[in-house]
Amino acid sequence: DAGITQSPRYKITETGRQVTLMCHQTWSHSYMFWYRQDLGHGLRLIYYSAAADITDKGEVPDGYVVSRSKTENFPLTLESATRSQTSVYFCASSSPAWGETQYFGPGTRLLVL
């Protein structure tokens, strides 16, 4: 049972490049979330999705784009990466049937040069 996976685990890119971070879950959870984690800020919500084709902004959505064409996938795209987007990105999923607990992936460490 793979649960929730993220790829790549590590990524180095340059300012201005487009980067897509992948998230895949095998539980058929309806909700999926993207967070970034930076020292001094804890976990901040970027975008979330209640179901396929339904997405909504979180606290810090600027500079990011998401899509959810399939329930199990929730990719996060940085259309033009900036140094301030250097961070650790976590994907999570949850299901109303399982309560509001979110289950997290292992994270993607992104460095923008």
Partner 1 sequence: GESVGLHLPTLSVQEGDNSIINCAYSNSASDYFIWYKQESGKGPQFIIDIRSNMDKRQGQRVTVLLNKTVKHLSLQIAATQPGDSAVYFCAPAGGNNRLAFGKGNQVVVIP
Question: Which among 94, 10, 96 is positioned nearest to 104, based on CA atoms?
Answer: 94
Min CB(70)–partner 1 separation in Å: 19
Q: Could you tell me if residue 41 is left (phi over 0), alpha (psi between -120 and 50 degrees) or otherwise beta? A: alpha
Q: Nearer to partner 1 by C-beta: 17 or 41?
A: 41
Min CB(95)–partner 1 separation in Å: 9
Min CB(12)–partner 1 separation in Å: 17
Q: Out of 34, 47, 48, 64, point to the residue binding partner 1 (CB under 8 A).
A: 48
Q: Out of 16, 79, 106, 113, point to the residue binding partner 1 (CB under 8 A).
A: 106
Q: Note whether 90 binds partner 1 by CB under 8 A.
A: yes
DSSP class of 40:
T
d(CA 16, CA 106): 26
